[in-house]
């Protein structure tokens, strides 16, 4: 296992570049199951979750070839229709194979994912989506077994108690691409990664309209073909880097990003007193003093992303006055708070709210990462804190950030990766 040793405080200054979005690449790789022709995905980020998805596809008999950052995926005639517990328990996004397997073969067995550090994460909306296409869904021995051939277009509302679901929208869209007739997904997720998946499916020959709005219409086609595609930039990585600039009172240019996907985050950074300039595929964040108090409430896109809540909580922990962060998407996504408090932050949790009393400086401490974005928050806190921080269990970070220590190190952070 690896851990980070971080020496702070540091001020970040310089240019960094944004990678391709993990959360766009994962469903796109799964969507390659929808055709027997090869698909080429470009600028694939080097991340543990991407390797896990490739491993899952290979375990199903799919051919994957990675050269530099280009992945070629061929899901020929012989494809196993099962995603086993061993892989699904490591990565919930394995669930993305459900829709394509069902769409193409009329048969999918996917293990139920089990527990998750950020709270209960049911799959009822995924099942509601495919059931509306006529699939028969059974739970057997810990596996969801879905069958239905042919699938028929249907109308469904994919909204749960916390709003629309990215994963359920994606799975239903993939299954419906090859169903007979028209599917209408109401209360669909509008996240950029859902739009990107729709664009990839369209590049494969699918007929989809309304992606990026709450009503997506899909006219099923008989077959899909291979496509060559470059997914969108990672808005969560870009947002994390922007917060890194703000928390260190630094100045960072983030190249290759899509500022349009970050409007809520840019707005809160400005409210906190940072200067944010936006350009074509570029953001410049400059912060000269402690952030002012800001209230943040996470919400489905275009609201403030839950995937940047932990990082923003770390920023506001070093701010002036009292800020309130409300987590509306995943109810238990506050494990980072206990660790931030060990670094001197003053944060009280009250249900879905974190009440943050800003302190002038955090102090280095030994802390433990609990999930991907919580790990990023601890890294940001540590580069701004006085003294040495040791972050254990950074395998969580490696799932979704490509060499974050190098990226931040190139602009002034002092981070060492140590194997133990």
Provide the mask over 316-335, with x wherever binding to ligand EPZ is found by CB under 6 A and - wherever it is not. -------------xx-----
**199 touches ligand EPZ (CB under 6 A):** no
Buried b / exposed e across 94-133, counting CB within 10 Å, b at 16+? bbbbbbbbbbbebebbbbebeeeebeeeebebbbbbbbbb
Q: 5 vs 157, which CB is nearer to ligand EPZ? A: 157
**362 touches ligand EPZ (CB under 6 A):** no
Q: 24 vs 365, which CB is nearer to ligand EPZ? A: 24
Residue list 274-313, contact with ligand EPZ (CB under 6 A): 306-307
Compute the residue count for the chain. Answer: 420
d(C-alpha 342, C-alpha 327), whole Å: 21
**126 touches ligand EPZ (CB under 6 A):** yes
What stretches of 218-306 show up as alpha helix (H) in DSSP? 235-247, 263-271
* Tokens at 97, concatenated: 């194979």
Beta carbon of residue 195, minimum distance to ligand EPZ (angstroms, whole number): 13
* Cα distance between the two ends of the chain: 6
Beta carbon of residue 94, minimum distance to ligand EPZ (angstroms, whole number): 10
In what order do the strands lie in the sheet containing 143-147? 82-83, 107-111, 143-147, 136-140
Select from 120-128, 146-154, 271-279, 409-417 the region that touches ligand EPZ (CB under 6 A): 120-128
d(C-alpha 279, C-alpha 247), whole Å: 22
Beta carbon of residue 266, minimum distance to ligand EPZ (angstroms, whole number): 18
**123 touches ligand EPZ (CB under 6 A):** yes
Strands 155-157 and 182-186, by their bridges, are: parallel
Q: Are 42 and 227 in contact, with CB atoms under 8 Å apart?
A: no
- Give the other-Cβ count within 10 Å of 15's Cβ: 13
Q: Is 190 a catalytic residue?
A: no
**18 touches ligand EPZ (CB under 6 A):** no
d(C-alpha 73, C-alpha 219), whole Å: 25
Q: Of 210, 207, 259, which is closest to residue 232 (Cα–Cα)?
A: 259
Contacts of 357 (CB under 8 A, 6+ apart): 321, 322, 346, 347
Q: Among 10, 64, 165, 370, which residue sits at the site for ligand EPZ (rule: CB under 6 A)? A: 165
Q: Among 97, 168, 185, 243, which residue sits at the site for ligand EPZ (rule: CB under 6 A)? A: 168
**83 touches ligand EPZ (CB under 6 A):** no
Provide the mask over 369-408, with x wherever binding to ligand EPZ is found by CB under 6 A and - wherever it is not. ---xx--------------------------x--------
Q: Among 12, 25, 26, 60, which residue sits at the site for ligand EPZ (rule: CB under 6 A)? A: 26
Residue 143, helix vs strand vs coil: strand
d(C-alpha 57, C-alpha 80), whole Å: 9
Beta carbon of residue 162, minimum distance to ligand EPZ (angstroms, whole number): 3
**219 touches ligand EPZ (CB under 6 A):** no
**196 touches ligand EPZ (CB under 6 A):** no
Cis geometry, peptide bond prior to residue 9 (ω within 30 degrees of 0): yes
d(C-alpha 406, C-alpha 410), whole Å: 6
DSSP 291: P
Q: 47 vs 347, which CB is nearer to ligand EPZ? A: 47
Q: Among 56, 62, 93, 274, which residue sits at the site for ligand EPZ (rule: CB under 6 A)? A: 93
Q: Among 80, 124, 136, 416, which residue sits at the site for ligand EPZ (rule: CB under 6 A)? A: 124
Residue ranges that bind ligand EPZ, judged by CB under 6 A? 23, 26, 93, 121-126, 160, 162, 165-168, 189, 193, 306-307, 329-330, 372-373, 400
Catalytic residue positions, numbered: 116
């Amino acid at each position: 296992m690896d851990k980070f040793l971080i020496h702070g405080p540091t001020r970040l200054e310089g240019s960094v570049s944004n990678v391709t979005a993990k959360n766009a690449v994962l469903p796109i790789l799964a969507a390659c199951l929808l055709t027997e022709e090869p698909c080429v995905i470009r600028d694939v980020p080097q991340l543990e979750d991407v390797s896990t998805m490739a491993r899952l596809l290979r375990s199903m008999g799919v051919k994957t070839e990675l050269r530099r950052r280009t992945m070629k995926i061929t899901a020929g005639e012989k494809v196993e229709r099962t995603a086993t517990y061993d892989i699904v328990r490591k990565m919930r996004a394995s669930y993305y194979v459900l829709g394509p397997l069902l769409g193409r073969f009329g048969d999918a067995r996917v293990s139920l994912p089990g527990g998750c550090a950020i709270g209960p994460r049911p799959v009822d909306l995924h099942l509601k989506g495919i059931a509306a296409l006529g699939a028969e869904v059974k739970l057997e021995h810990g596996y969801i077994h879905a069958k239905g051939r042919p699938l028929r277009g249907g109308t469904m509302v994919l909204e749960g108690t916390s709003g629309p679901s990215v994963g359920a929208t994606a799975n239903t869209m993939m299954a419906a691409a090859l169903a007979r007739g028209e599917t209408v997904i109401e209360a669909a997720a509008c996240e950029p990664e859902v739009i990107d998946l729709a664009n990839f499916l369209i590049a494969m020959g699918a007929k989809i309209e309304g992606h990026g709005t709450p009503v997506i219409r899909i006219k099923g086609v008989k077959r899909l073909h291979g496509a060559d595609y470059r997914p969108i930039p990672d808005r969560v990585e870009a947002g994390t880097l922007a917060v890194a600039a703000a928390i260190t009172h630094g100045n960072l240019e983030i190249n290759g990003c899509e500022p349009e996907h970050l409007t809520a985050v840019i707005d809160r950074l400005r409210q906190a007193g940072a200067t944010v300039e936006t350009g074509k595929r570029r953001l410049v964040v400059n912060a000269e003093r402690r952030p002012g108090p800001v209230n943040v409430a996470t919400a489905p896109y275009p609201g403030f992303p839950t995937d940047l809540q932990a990082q923003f909580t770390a920023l506001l922990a070093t701010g002036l006055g009292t800020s309130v962060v409300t987590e509306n998407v995943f109810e238990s996504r506050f494990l980072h708070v206990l660790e931030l408090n060990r670094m001197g932050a003053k944060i009280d949790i009250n249900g879905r709210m974190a009440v943050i009393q800003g302190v002038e400086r955090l102090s280095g401490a030994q802390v433990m990462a609990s999930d991907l974005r919580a790990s990023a928050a601890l890294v940001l806190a540590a580069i701004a804190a006085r003294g040495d921080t040791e972050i254990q269990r950074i395998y969580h970070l490696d799932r979704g950030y490509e060499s974050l220590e190098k990226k931040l190190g190139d602009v002034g952070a002092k981070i060492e990766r140590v194997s133990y």
